Protein backbone atom coordinates (compact mmCIF):
# COMPACT_ATOMS: atom_id res chain seq x y z
CA UNK A 1 0.00 0.00 0.00
CA UNK A 2 1.43 3.45 -0.81
CA UNK A 3 2.95 5.31 2.10
CA UNK A 4 1.36 8.74 1.93
CA UNK A 5 0.70 12.07 0.23
CA UNK A 6 -0.01 12.01 -3.51
CA UNK A 7 0.76 8.30 -3.72
CA UNK A 8 -1.94 7.49 -1.15
CA UNK A 9 -4.40 9.78 -2.92
CA UNK A 10 -3.74 8.00 -6.21
CA UNK A 11 -4.14 4.63 -4.50
CA UNK A 12 -7.48 5.71 -3.01
CA UNK A 13 -8.72 6.91 -6.38
CA UNK A 14 -7.67 3.66 -8.02
CA UNK A 15 -9.29 1.65 -5.23
CA UNK A 16 -12.48 3.67 -5.60
CA UNK A 17 -12.64 2.97 -9.34
CA UNK A 18 -12.02 -0.74 -8.78
CA UNK A 19 -14.59 -0.98 -5.99
CA UNK A 20 -17.21 0.88 -8.03
CA UNK A 21 -16.65 -1.54 -10.91
CA UNK A 22 -17.13 -4.48 -8.55
CA UNK A 23 -20.31 -2.91 -7.15
CA UNK A 24 -21.75 -2.52 -10.65
CA UNK A 25 -21.00 -6.14 -11.56
CA UNK A 26 -22.49 -7.43 -8.32
CA UNK A 27 -25.59 -5.31 -8.85
CA UNK A 28 -26.03 -6.96 -12.25
CA UNK A 29 -26.10 -10.41 -10.61
CA UNK A 30 -29.74 -10.07 -9.57
CA UNK A 31 -30.90 -9.31 -13.10
CA UNK A 32 -28.99 -12.24 -14.60
CA UNK A 33 -30.64 -14.50 -12.02
CA UNK A 34 -34.13 -13.17 -12.65
CA UNK A 35 -33.67 -13.48 -16.41
CA UNK A 36 -32.41 -17.07 -16.12
CA UNK A 37 -35.28 -18.00 -13.84
CA UNK A 38 -37.76 -16.47 -16.28
CA UNK A 39 -36.26 -18.78 -18.94
CA UNK A 40 -37.03 -21.80 -16.76
CA UNK A 41 -33.66 -22.37 -15.03
CA UNK A 42 -33.85 -24.13 -11.67
CA UNK A 43 -32.11 -23.00 -8.50
CA UNK A 44 -29.26 -25.52 -8.63
CA UNK A 45 -28.14 -24.60 -12.19
CA UNK A 46 -28.44 -20.91 -11.27
CA UNK A 47 -25.93 -21.56 -8.47
CA UNK A 48 -23.68 -24.22 -10.02
CA UNK A 49 -22.99 -22.81 -13.49
CA UNK A 50 -21.90 -19.32 -12.34
CA UNK A 51 -19.71 -20.86 -9.63
CA UNK A 52 -18.01 -23.11 -12.18
CA UNK A 53 -17.48 -20.43 -14.83
CA UNK A 54 -16.15 -17.93 -12.30
CA UNK A 55 -13.89 -20.53 -10.70
CA UNK A 56 -12.56 -21.66 -14.07
CA UNK A 57 -11.82 -18.01 -14.85
CA UNK A 58 -9.75 -17.79 -11.66
CA UNK A 59 -7.90 -21.04 -12.41
CA UNK A 60 -7.03 -19.79 -15.89
CA UNK A 61 -5.83 -16.50 -14.41
CA UNK A 62 -3.57 -18.31 -11.93
CA UNK A 63 -2.10 -20.56 -14.62
CA UNK A 64 -1.37 -17.61 -16.92
CA UNK A 65 0.19 -15.71 -13.99
CA UNK A 66 2.43 -18.68 -13.17
CA UNK A 67 0.82 -19.21 -9.76
CA UNK A 68 -0.08 -22.90 -10.10
CA UNK A 69 1.99 -23.80 -6.98
CA UNK A 70 -0.08 -21.39 -4.86
CA UNK A 71 -3.24 -23.00 -6.22
CA UNK A 72 -2.04 -26.48 -5.27
CA UNK A 73 -1.17 -25.31 -1.75
CA UNK A 74 -4.60 -23.69 -1.35
CA UNK A 75 -6.37 -26.90 -2.39
CA UNK A 76 -4.56 -28.72 0.43
CA UNK A 77 -5.61 -26.22 3.12
CA UNK A 78 -8.60 -27.05 5.36
CA UNK A 79 -9.58 -23.36 5.38
CA UNK A 80 -10.35 -23.62 1.65
CA UNK A 81 -13.24 -25.96 2.39
CA UNK A 82 -14.59 -23.73 5.13
CA UNK A 83 -14.54 -20.84 2.65
CA UNK A 84 -16.27 -23.07 0.09
CA UNK A 85 -19.08 -23.89 2.53
CA UNK A 86 -19.46 -20.24 3.50
CA UNK A 87 -19.62 -19.20 -0.17
CA UNK A 88 -22.37 -21.72 -0.94
CA UNK A 89 -24.35 -20.66 2.14
CA UNK A 90 -23.93 -16.97 1.32
CA UNK A 91 -24.92 -17.24 -2.32
CA UNK A 92 -27.83 -19.56 -1.59
CA UNK A 93 -29.16 -16.95 0.84
CA UNK A 94 -28.68 -14.21 -1.77
CA UNK A 95 -30.62 -16.29 -4.29
CA UNK A 96 -33.52 -16.97 -1.94
CA UNK A 97 -33.59 -13.31 -0.88
CA UNK A 98 -33.69 -12.18 -4.50
CA UNK A 99 -36.76 -14.33 -5.06
CA UNK A 100 -38.52 -13.47 -1.80
CA UNK A 101 -37.83 -9.78 -1.21
CA UNK A 102 -36.57 -8.63 -4.62
CA UNK A 103 -33.32 -7.38 -6.11
CA UNK A 104 -33.31 -3.91 -4.56
CA UNK A 105 -34.27 -5.15 -1.11
CA UNK A 106 -31.57 -7.83 -1.25
CA UNK A 107 -29.05 -5.12 -2.06
CA UNK A 108 -30.07 -3.52 1.25
CA UNK A 109 -28.88 -6.64 3.04
CA UNK A 110 -25.52 -6.45 1.26
CA UNK A 111 -25.34 -2.77 2.25
CA UNK A 112 -25.69 -3.72 5.92
CA UNK A 113 -22.86 -6.27 5.51
CA UNK A 114 -20.48 -3.94 3.70
CA UNK A 115 -21.07 -0.56 5.32
CA UNK A 116 -21.94 -1.62 8.87
CA UNK A 117 -20.70 -5.12 9.74
CA UNK A 118 -17.39 -5.06 7.82
CA UNK A 119 -16.14 -1.87 9.52
CA UNK A 120 -17.24 -3.31 12.88
CA UNK A 121 -15.27 -6.50 12.25
CA UNK A 122 -12.22 -4.64 11.00
CA UNK A 123 -12.12 -1.90 13.63
CA UNK A 124 -13.64 -3.46 16.75
CA UNK A 125 -12.65 -7.12 16.38
CA UNK A 126 -9.35 -6.99 14.46
CA UNK A 127 -8.26 -3.55 15.71
CA UNK A 128 -7.44 -2.26 12.24
CA UNK A 129 -8.21 0.99 10.46
CA UNK A 130 -9.23 2.93 13.58
CA UNK A 131 -7.21 5.90 12.35
CA UNK A 132 -9.70 6.37 9.46
CA UNK A 133 -12.40 7.33 11.93
CA UNK A 134 -10.15 10.01 13.43
CA UNK A 135 -10.78 11.99 10.23
CA UNK A 136 -14.31 13.47 10.27
CA UNK A 137 -14.53 13.34 6.47
CA UNK A 138 -14.14 9.56 6.34
CA UNK A 139 -16.76 8.95 9.03
CA UNK A 140 -19.08 11.49 7.40
CA UNK A 141 -18.58 9.74 4.05
CA UNK A 142 -19.80 6.47 5.56
CA UNK A 143 -22.92 8.16 6.91
CA UNK A 144 -23.70 10.04 3.71
CA UNK A 145 -23.12 6.99 1.48
CA UNK A 146 -25.45 4.97 3.69
CA UNK A 147 -28.12 7.67 3.57
CA UNK A 148 -27.89 7.97 -0.23
CA UNK A 149 -28.10 4.23 -0.76
CA UNK A 150 -30.85 4.01 1.82
CA UNK A 151 -32.96 6.54 -0.05
CA UNK A 152 -32.58 4.49 -3.21
CA UNK A 153 -33.58 1.35 -1.33
CA UNK A 154 -36.61 2.97 0.28
CA UNK A 155 -37.74 4.13 -3.14
CA UNK A 156 -37.54 0.53 -4.33
CA UNK A 157 -39.88 -0.71 -1.63
CA UNK A 158 -37.49 -1.96 1.03
CA UNK A 159 -39.70 -0.54 3.76
CA UNK A 160 -42.32 -3.22 3.34
CA UNK A 161 -42.51 -5.59 6.30
CA UNK A 162 -40.67 -8.87 6.44
CA UNK A 163 -42.26 -12.00 7.85
CA UNK A 164 -41.45 -15.62 8.50
CA UNK A 165 -38.31 -16.95 6.83
CA UNK A 166 -37.59 -13.50 5.36
CA UNK A 167 -36.49 -12.38 8.82
CA UNK A 168 -33.96 -15.21 8.97
CA UNK A 169 -32.50 -14.03 5.66
CA UNK A 170 -32.48 -10.41 6.76
CA UNK A 171 -30.57 -11.27 9.92
CA UNK A 172 -28.24 -13.95 8.55
CA UNK A 173 -27.21 -12.83 5.08
CA UNK A 174 -25.24 -9.70 6.11
CA UNK A 175 -23.19 -11.76 8.58
CA UNK A 176 -22.39 -14.39 5.93
CA UNK A 177 -21.27 -11.72 3.46
CA UNK A 178 -19.12 -9.81 5.96
CA UNK A 179 -17.50 -13.00 7.30
CA UNK A 180 -16.67 -14.31 3.82
CA UNK A 181 -15.03 -11.15 2.51
CA UNK A 182 -13.19 -10.15 5.69
CA UNK A 183 -11.83 -13.69 6.13
CA UNK A 184 -10.66 -13.85 2.53
CA UNK A 185 -9.13 -10.37 2.57
CA UNK A 186 -7.16 -11.02 5.74
CA UNK A 187 -5.84 -14.38 4.55
CA UNK A 188 -5.07 -12.77 1.19
CA UNK A 189 -2.36 -10.66 2.81
CA UNK A 190 -0.15 -13.75 3.02
CA UNK A 191 -0.95 -15.48 -0.26
CA UNK A 192 -2.41 -14.41 -3.61
CA UNK A 193 -6.15 -13.87 -3.15
CA UNK A 194 -6.90 -15.59 -6.45
CA UNK A 195 -5.41 -18.82 -5.11
CA UNK A 196 -7.91 -18.68 -2.22
CA UNK A 197 -10.93 -17.94 -4.40
CA UNK A 198 -10.25 -20.34 -7.28
CA UNK A 199 -10.58 -23.65 -5.40
CA UNK A 200 -13.42 -22.37 -3.21
CA UNK A 201 -15.44 -21.18 -6.21
CA UNK A 202 -14.83 -24.26 -8.37
CA UNK A 203 -15.52 -26.45 -5.34
CA UNK A 204 -18.79 -24.61 -4.68
CA UNK A 205 -19.89 -25.39 -8.24
CA UNK A 206 -18.92 -29.05 -7.91
CA UNK A 207 -20.76 -29.28 -4.59
CA UNK A 208 -23.92 -27.91 -6.21
CA UNK A 209 -23.57 -30.50 -8.98
CA UNK A 210 -23.12 -33.28 -6.42
CA UNK A 211 -26.25 -32.16 -4.57
CA UNK A 212 -28.35 -31.97 -7.74
CA UNK A 213 -29.90 -35.48 -7.50
CA UNK A 214 -31.43 -34.59 -4.14
CA UNK A 215 -32.77 -31.16 -5.13
CA UNK A 216 -35.98 -30.21 -6.96
CA UNK A 217 -35.53 -30.88 -10.67
CA UNK A 218 -32.52 -33.13 -10.07
CA UNK A 219 -29.84 -33.58 -12.70
CA UNK A 220 -32.51 -33.20 -15.39
CA UNK A 221 -32.70 -29.49 -14.52
CA UNK A 222 -29.33 -29.00 -16.22
CA UNK A 223 -30.32 -30.89 -19.35
CA UNK A 224 -33.45 -28.80 -19.72
CA UNK A 225 -31.49 -25.55 -20.05
CA UNK A 226 -31.34 -23.81 -23.41
CA UNK A 227 -27.99 -22.77 -24.86
CA UNK A 228 -28.93 -19.13 -24.26
CA UNK A 229 -29.61 -19.77 -20.58
CA UNK A 230 -26.33 -21.65 -20.11
CA UNK A 231 -24.41 -18.77 -21.72
CA UNK A 232 -26.31 -16.26 -19.60
CA UNK A 233 -25.39 -18.08 -16.40
CA UNK A 234 -21.78 -18.58 -17.52
CA UNK A 235 -21.39 -14.86 -18.24
CA UNK A 236 -22.99 -14.10 -14.88
CA UNK A 237 -20.39 -16.29 -13.20
CA UNK A 238 -17.46 -14.65 -14.96
CA UNK A 239 -18.69 -11.20 -13.97
CA UNK A 240 -19.92 -11.89 -10.44
CA UNK A 241 -17.51 -14.60 -9.26
CA UNK A 242 -14.32 -13.75 -11.13
CA UNK A 243 -14.08 -10.16 -12.40
CA UNK A 244 -16.11 -8.61 -9.56
CA UNK A 245 -14.15 -10.23 -6.71
CA UNK A 246 -10.87 -9.60 -8.55
CA UNK A 247 -11.66 -5.87 -8.71
CA UNK A 248 -12.83 -5.76 -5.09
CA UNK A 249 -9.82 -7.51 -3.59
CA UNK A 250 -7.47 -5.46 -5.78
CA UNK A 251 -9.12 -2.36 -4.31
CA UNK A 252 -8.49 -3.75 -0.80
CA UNK A 253 -4.81 -4.20 -1.65
CA UNK A 254 -4.61 -0.57 -2.71
CA UNK A 255 -6.52 1.07 0.15
CA UNK A 256 -7.20 -1.47 2.91
CA UNK A 257 -10.49 -3.08 3.89
CA UNK A 258 -12.53 -0.09 4.95
CA UNK A 259 -12.77 2.21 1.92
CA UNK A 260 -13.82 -0.49 -0.61
CA UNK A 261 -16.42 -1.84 1.82
CA UNK A 262 -17.90 1.63 2.28
CA UNK A 263 -18.12 2.09 -1.49
CA UNK A 264 -20.26 -1.04 -1.70
CA UNK A 265 -23.03 1.32 -0.59
CA UNK A 266 -23.33 2.03 -4.31
CA UNK A 267 -24.65 -1.50 -5.01
CA UNK A 268 -28.28 -0.53 -4.24
CA UNK A 269 -27.87 2.57 -6.38
CA UNK A 270 -26.56 0.53 -9.32
CA UNK A 271 -29.34 -2.00 -8.74
CA UNK A 272 -31.94 0.73 -8.96
CA UNK A 273 -30.35 2.21 -12.10
CA UNK A 274 -30.14 -1.18 -13.79
CA UNK A 275 -33.80 -1.70 -12.94
CA UNK A 276 -34.57 1.49 -14.83
CA UNK A 277 -32.43 0.54 -17.84
CA UNK A 278 -33.31 -3.14 -18.08
CA UNK A 279 -36.83 -3.32 -16.70
CA UNK A 280 -38.03 0.27 -17.24
CA UNK A 281 -38.80 0.57 -13.50
CA UNK A 282 -38.69 4.32 -12.96
CA UNK A 283 -37.71 5.35 -9.40
CA UNK A 284 -39.66 7.93 -7.41
CA UNK A 285 -38.06 11.14 -6.20
CA UNK A 286 -36.28 9.48 -3.27
CA UNK A 287 -34.47 7.09 -5.60
CA UNK A 288 -33.35 9.92 -7.86
CA UNK A 289 -32.05 11.87 -4.86
CA UNK A 290 -30.16 8.87 -3.49
CA UNK A 291 -27.77 8.65 -6.44
CA UNK A 292 -25.98 12.02 -6.03
CA UNK A 293 -26.07 11.70 -2.22
CA UNK A 294 -24.32 8.31 -2.37
CA UNK A 295 -21.79 9.78 -4.81
CA UNK A 296 -21.14 12.66 -2.41
CA UNK A 297 -20.54 10.16 0.40
CA UNK A 298 -18.03 8.28 -1.72
CA UNK A 299 -16.21 11.54 -2.46
CA UNK A 300 -16.06 12.43 1.24
CA UNK A 301 -14.72 8.98 2.08
CA UNK A 302 -12.01 9.44 -0.56
CA UNK A 303 -11.01 12.76 0.95
CA UNK A 304 -10.98 11.30 4.44
CA UNK A 305 -8.89 8.34 3.30
CA UNK A 306 -6.18 10.56 1.82
CA UNK A 307 -6.16 12.70 4.99
CA UNK A 308 -4.98 9.83 7.23
CA UNK A 309 -1.28 10.31 8.11
CA UNK A 310 0.78 7.46 6.71
CA UNK A 311 2.57 6.77 9.98
CA UNK A 312 -0.73 6.16 11.76
CA UNK A 313 -2.30 3.72 9.29
CA UNK A 314 -3.11 0.45 11.04
CA UNK A 315 -3.54 -1.86 8.05
CA UNK A 316 -0.74 -0.65 5.82
CA UNK A 317 1.03 -3.92 5.18
CA UNK A 318 1.00 -4.49 1.42
CA UNK A 319 -0.74 -7.61 0.20
CA UNK A 320 0.59 -9.97 -2.46
CA UNK A 321 -0.89 -9.66 -5.93
CA UNK A 322 -4.32 -11.26 -6.37
Per-residue model confidence as pLDDT tens digits over 217-243: 788 889 999 999 999 999 999 999 999
Closest by Cα among 158, 128, 92, 155 to 261: 128
Domain ranges across the chain: 5-312
Per-residue model confidence as pLDDT tens digits over 1-16: 454 555 666 777 888 8
Q: What average pLDDT score do residues 91-113 get?
A: 75
* Max Cα distance, the chain (Å): 59
Burial label for 105, CB within 10 Å (0-12, 13-18, 19+), is buried
- Local confidence band at 48 (pLDDT 50, 70, 90 cut-offs): very high
Closest by Cα among 320, 217, 249, 245 to 55: 245
Per-residue model confidence as pLDDT tens digits over 20-35: 999 999 999 989 998 9
Amino acid sequence: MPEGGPARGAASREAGTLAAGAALLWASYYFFVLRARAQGAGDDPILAIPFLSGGIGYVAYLLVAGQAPELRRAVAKPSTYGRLALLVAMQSAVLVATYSVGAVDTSLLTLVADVVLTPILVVAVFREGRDRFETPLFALGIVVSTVGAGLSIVSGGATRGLSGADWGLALGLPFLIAAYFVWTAREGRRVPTASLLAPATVGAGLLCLALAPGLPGGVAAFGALSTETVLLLAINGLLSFFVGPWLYFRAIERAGLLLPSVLMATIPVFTLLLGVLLLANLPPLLGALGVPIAALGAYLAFRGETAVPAARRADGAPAPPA
